[in-house]
Structure 1
Amino acid sequence: MERTRTPRGRRTGRHSRSVRTAAVAMAGALALGGWAATATASETGGSAGNLITNPGFEQGLSGWSCSGGTGAVTGDPVRSGTSALVATPSGHDHARCEQRVSVQPDEEYELSTWVRGGYTFVGAAGSGMQETSTWTSGSGDWQQLKVGFRTGSGTTEVTVHLHGWYGSAAYHADDVALTGPGGEGGGPTEPPEAPPSVPGGLTVGTSTSTSVALSWDAVSDAERYHVYVDGSRTVSTSATSATVSGLEPQTAYSFRVRSENAAGESARSAPVTATTRPRPGGGGGGVPRHALTGYWHNFDNGSALMKLREVQDEYDIIAVAFADATARPGEIEFNLDPVLGYGSEQEFIQDIAAKQSEGKSVIISVGGEVGNVIVNDAASAQRFATSTLALMDEYGFDGVDIDLEHGINARYLTEAMEAIHAAAGDSLVYTMAPQTIDMQHTGSEYFKLALGTKDFLTVVNMQYYNSGSMMGCDNKVYSAGSVDFLTALACIQLESGLDASQVGIGVPASPRGAGSGYVSPETVTAALDCLTRGTRCGSFVPERTYPDLRGAMTWSVNWDRHAGDAWSRVVGPHVHGLP
């Protein structure tokens, strides 16, 4: 968020960064190395110090395997030499090309490649280590992706992989490099002669109303695992744990796991059963069934300056933007901006109380474009919980909004939010405002946070702006600014573990509220009707309706006022009139 008046030509919205910088959130806590790898193809293998065979694809696809025949070699464009990889995703295949490489346990490695074209991911996975990757949302020219990782105590080989995104444009890759100590024999390993063993130790972990966490023992010669729910394959992963989402509340399920390598799949494991928990009511006892959320500026950015008491009556949840980070990781504070004209903090506190007396919820928002609050270990999680509760006590905030745009750690933010909920109780109003890329699949850190705190989460108001085209739940790509974009992306959350009462549509209140992605209020109401009633849909029509959908959010009440309250006057009554 730009908290001062912006000069002409700069974005004046809350989220001015491009989707590319969401890579930290998408990939989790990555240890990105500050190194410059050289990746020059040789005739027999990788370049000096490079463990990759055929890194520049000068020998075709030798050493590489690509899913479903999606990969090929091209002579134009190339970054160096005469060849490069081109791989074309489809609606059901993200064009994964991979190579298995011998490595040593407990060692540091650095992986890089040069890419151009559509969405491109690069990463590495191996038995006994955490899978790591990074990505770019697309480029018209070559750019380098790089990521560092450490092998586990038993890791002797890794699978280096490149892939695109379902239904997106073809990607190109060249000059792949993996540097670090070579394993026995160096270079890629020979493919296995037989499928791996059956996974053992399948165990049920935490269950929610729509998800079940599973874990199992590692299989030494396995490259990936497949989870089966009542006989149907549901999740594939290179890790030894997974969370199965999209389940029905209070329902018993049977789970099995298979392991797989290049020679094939194992038999299925012995089954385990688990019953999901009852459907939650959603956090925030005072929030209406269908609610309108709006962000209020604690700064001047050229929109309308207004005191909290002046916020339009249509808003049910008012998120005060933003808290400030202190020098201590995880800790936050709030500094009332003098530009707003408050005579004292007590006057501001009285405004909060007045809004609450009208039945509104007022919460403190953490993040925005420049709000880089780091919660990545137990100590910072505790500081975040303690300082948030202190602000709730001091100002009377009803809860907290998580709007972190510089990467989150789901494990420790979950710990922090559980501590806040334990202290505040079920009256806590807890919202989130992830970007579109953060909620594309349940493996992202934001999605894991939402599912991990689902039992007391009030609403996720995903930001449907500043993102360009994205994929919907039907594996088709939709352009921003359309009813289909709003409904098909909401469908991912609605069908991947969140209750409908925990899903809202977040949009700019005016064309100046964000760099891109503005839609008219009428487009928002059409999307709400499509999701809740099955009417006014575009080309995408959900397979079912979601009458419990929570509502809509906007950035911001100030931009709404700047545009003559045009957004809230249309969307507010419509939200409150939903079935």
Structure 2
Amino acid sequence: MPSPRLMNAALASVAALGLGLTGLVALGGGASADTTNLVVNPGFETGSLANWNCAAGTATVSTTTVHSGSHALAATPTSSDDAQCTQTISVQPNSSYTLSAWVNGPYVYLGTQGDGTTDVSTWSSTNAWNQLTTSFKTGASTTSVTIYLHGWYGQSTYYADDVVLSGAAGSSPSPTQSSSSSPSASASASASPSASASSSPSASSSSSPSPTATSTGGTGGKPKHWVTGYWQDFDNGATDQKISDVNGQYNLIAVAFANADAAGDGGITFSLDSTLQGKLGGYTDAQFKADIAAKQAQGKKVILSVGGQNGTISITNAAQATAFANSAYAIMQQYGFNGVDIDLENGLNPTYMASALHQLAAKAGSGFILTMAPQTIDVLSASSDYLATALQVKDILTIMNTQYYNSGSMNGCDGGVYSEGNVDFITSLACTAIQAGLSPNQVGIGVPASSRAAGSGYVSPSVVENALNCLAKGTGCGTFKPSTTWPTIGGVMTWSTAWDASNGNEFANNEGAFTNAMP
């Protein structure tokens, strides 16, 4: 994508990338004699899901894979559901609590929602029993907290046992504790982590399509498909916008861009561009943050894009990876962002960038959004730096929106050579990413919002819609037709919402509306 302040209107380009995690921990096989466990049915020894609310059809009780006793939770995610189970528990305000659980599975996330301070989470990916633990303090007016466990989209069954929440009991029965304990009542569908989380900027466990959590919040679960638009934090001739001005069809807004810090140690910085602030009549930090929170309250996600065309952030060692994670998390907390987008167009180191992103995901927790926006040259094979990175962070990746523009001819997954600007170019390269190992819902289509937004590669809405139909249903294809269909294809992305506004919101009203209406 174009650099924040150096790219002119004719050369503007794009970027984007996510996972939801949460975690609990148990104290050994259960609470000790002198520990008060506030969780009801903590080891599922009732032989049912009594007092737990689990996503419909995803959870049961196992008698074969258990940590202690004779029962444990067994929940199986699908391609569109992370198999979350929750329990709401009465607590005391201004009090300290420890949450724990024993878990077993490819990805298991455990954590809290509605702490009143900063929701917490942790996760593991071990096909053997291991203990997760976290702690938190409730807010001044907090009287109940929701604890949760979930797996990850498309992964195999996870198990949980001996869940413990220790601390002062609340003064009134918990909603979950006082509900019917029949299996049918307790197994009813529950909201995803993000759906049930607070929408205030201080909340931290909204869920996303990947195992991570933010300290920001936002309501609404993972959409079936993402419509991503980049919001420009600079003026380059496109329509100047506040976050509140972004068209409602966009369910994921990437704020462009964060830059390398002055130390060059892997850390990043972000602040609103003063020129843009002036053109918007004095767009203050406070209003910017309020606009982000308002979008999140509508179920949208707002993330920070790192880099851009001229971005020079370098993550090539462990210290830089940690600096990146720490600085990115601090900015997320400061502004209320749901996650980050990686748009580094001058190369990246898969090993250390993956380490940085996993560290950030662990800090952020459930609801963390991670997107990427590689150039086509960077995703031609599983060994290409961007695609290699995406595969290493597949467990926390929300979506990778390849920039199908400003590109020469490229090889598709069938070995054919395709030129940009048509259905075949998009579908054959999207096929490459899926065949390399990304889930279809982690693969998106990035195009310019208008002919002015990029040097080349603008296509009409019908081309994008045909490409989506080809990938999802096998219709609308060109000469290349995938050997199978991917109904959960991730979605679409554009550079930028400002250029889209300058073009009568053509992208939002056509590609955006079309994608949001896809089954």
TM (normalized to structure 2)? 0.59
SS in 1 for 2:224: coil
Q: Is the 8 A contact 2:448 2:495 kept in 1?
A: yes
Matched, 1:298 2:238: no
Q: Which residue of the partner structure matches residue 288 of structure 2?
A: 348
CA shift, 1:347, in A, is 1.1
Q: Which residue of 1 aligns with 2:450?
A: 510
Residue type of the alignment partner of 1:523: V
- Aligned: 1:402 with 2:307: no
**Equivalence for 1:372:** 312
Give the conservation status (yes or no) of the 8 Å contact 1:508–1:556.
yes
Aligned residue in 1 for 2:242: 307
Residues 530, 343 of structure 1: CA spacing in aligned structure 2 closer, same or farther, 3 A cutoff? closer
Residue by residue, what CA displacement relative to the aligned partner does 1:230-285 show, whole Å, maximum 9, x if unpaired?
A: xxxxxxxxxxxxxxxxxx9669xxxxxxxxxxxxxxxxxxxxxxxxxxxx964578
**Aligned counterpart, 1:423:** 363
Shift in CA distance, 406/427, structure 1 to aligned 2, threshold 3 Å: same
Superimposed CA distance per residue, residues 269-315 of structure 1 (whole angstroms, 9 cap, x where no aligned partner): xxxxxxxxxxx964578431211000000000111101110000000
Aligned-residue offset at 1:423: 1.1
The alpha-carbon distance between structure 1 residues 523 and 284, as it changes in their structure 2 partners (threshold 3 A), is farther
Give a deviation string over 1:38-85, Cα, whole Å, max 9, x none: xxxxxxxxxxxxxxxxxxxxxxxxxxxxxxxxxxxxxxxxxxxxxxxx
The residue aligned with 1:469 is 409
1:488 lines up with 2:413 in the alignment:
no
Change (3 A) 1:571 1:284: farther
Distance 1:486 1:351, change over 3 A: same
Q: Does 1:12 align with 2:21?
A: no
Q: In the alignment, which residue of structure 1 is the partner of 2:203?
A: none
Contact 1:5 1:302 in 2 (8 A): no
Alpha-carbon shift at residue 12 of structure 1 (Å):
2.6
Secondary structure, aligned partner of 1:506: strand
1:498-557 deviations in whole A, cap 9, x for unaligned? Answer: 001100000001001111111111100010000001111111111000001111000110
Q: What is the aligned partner in structure 2 of residue 324 from structure 1?
A: 259
Q: Does structure 2 conserve the Cα–Cα contact (< 8 Å) formed by 1:287 and 1:361?
A: no
Cα root mean square deviation, aligned: 2.4
Relative contact order (alpha carbons < 8 A, sep ≥ 6): 1 or 2 greater?
Answer: 2
Matched, 1:288 2:223: yes
Letter in 2 for 1:299: F
Q: Note the residue ranges of structure 1 that are not aligned, 5 or more in a row.
A: 17-206, 209-247, 252-279
Correspondent of 1:451 among 391, 399, 404? 391
Residue 434 in 1 paired to residue 374 in 2?
A: yes
CA 347–15 in structure 1, closer or farther in 2 if over 3 Å, else same: closer
- In structure 2, relative to structure 1, the CA distance for the partners of 1:504 and 1:307 (3 Å cut) is same
Partner in structure 2 of residue 334 of structure 1: 270
State how far apart, in whole Å, the 2-side matches of 1:490 and 1:361 are. Answer: 24
Cα deviation code 1:450-506 (max 9, x no counterpart): 111101110000100111111100000011000000101100011110001100000
CA distance in 2, matches of 1:508, 1:418: 30
**How far off its partner does 1:5 sit?**
7.7
Question: Is the partner of 2:307 in helix, strand or coil?
Answer: strand
Q: Does 1:498 align with 2:497?
A: no
Give me the whole-angstrom Cα distance separating, in 1, the residues matched to 2:14 and 2:437: 26
SS at match of 1:513: coil
Q: Aligned ranges for residues 103-118 of structure 1 at < 5 Å?
A: none
Point out where structure 2 has 5 or more consecutive residues left out of the alignment: 16-105, 108-153, 158-207, 214-220
**Distance in 2 between the 1:304 and 1:5 partners?**
17
After superposition, residues 77-156 of structure 1 pair within 5 angstroms as: none
**What's the secondary structure of 1:323's corresponding residue?**
strand
Cα 1:15–1:312, aligned 2, differ >3 Å: closer, same or farther? closer
Q: Mark the CA change 1:358 to 1:249 in structure 2 (over 3 Å): closer, same or farther.
A: closer
**Rounded Cα–Cα distance in structure 2 between residues aligned with 1:324 and 1:305:** 21
Aligned to 2:486: 546
CA distance in 2, matches of 1:496, 1:304: 38
Report the Cα distance in structure 2 between the residues aligned to 1:431 and 1:318, rounded to whole angstroms: 11
Quote the Cα distance in structure 2 between the aligned partners of 1:343 and 1:516.
32
- The alpha-carbon distance between structure 1 residues 545 and 306, as it changes in their structure 2 partners (threshold 3 A), is same
Answer whether contact 1:324 1:335 (CA < 8 A) is retained: no
Q: Which moved more, 1:381-390 or 1:280-289?
A: 280-289
Q: Give the letter for the 1:444 counterpart.
A: S
Letter matched to residue 321 of structure 1? A
* SS of alignment partner, residue 553 of structure 1: strand
Q: Post-superposition shift, 1:4?
A: 4.3
Matched residue type, 2:273: D
Q: Contact 1:308 / 1:352 at 8 angstroms: preserved in 2? A: yes
CA shift at 1:383, angstroms?
A: 0.6
Alignment of 1:211-250 (within 5 A): none
Instruction: Label 1:2 to 1:333 Cα distance change in 2 as closer, same or farther (>3 A).
Output: closer
Distance in 1 (CA, whole Å) between partners of 2:7 and 2:335 is 29
Residue 14 of structure 1: how far off its partner (Å): 2.3
Return the letter of the residue paired with 2:231.
W
Q: Secondary structure at the match of 1:512?
A: coil
Rounded to whole Å, the distance in 2 between the matches of 1:455 and 1:442 is 16
Deviation at 1:372, TM superposition (A): 1.0
Secondary structure of 2:315's partner?
Answer: coil
Q: Kindly, what percent of the aligned residue pairs are identical?
A: 47
CA distance in 2, matches of 1:456, 1:418: 8
2:89 corresponds to: none
Q: What's the secondary structure of 1:511's corresponding residue?
A: coil
Per the alignment, in what secondary structure is the counterpart of residue 449 of structure 1? helix
Once residues 353 and 413 of structure 2 are traced to their aligned partners in structure 1, the CA distance between those partners, rounded to angstroms, is 26
Q: Distance in 1 between matches of 2:517 and 2:408?
A: 30
Partner letter of residue 505 of structure 2? Answer: D
Task: Give 2:267's aligned amino acid.
Answer: E
**Aligned equivalents of 1:15, 1:364: Cα separation in 2:** 13
Distance 1:2 1:457, change over 3 A: closer
Greater Cα shift, 453-462 or 329-338: 329-338
Matched letter for residue 253 of structure 2: I
Is residue 11–residue 515 contact of structure 1 (8 Å, CA) maintained in 2? yes
How many residue pairs align between the two structures? 322
Detail structure 1 runs of 4+ shifted over 4 Å in the superposition: 4-7, 248-251
Note closer, same or farther for the CA distance 1:423–1:6 as it changes in structure 2 (3 Å cut): closer
| Equivalent residues of 1:15, 1:466 under 8 A apart | no
Report deviation, 1:425: 1.3
- Report the CA distance shift for 1:425/1:313 in structure 2 as closer, same or farther (over 3 A): same
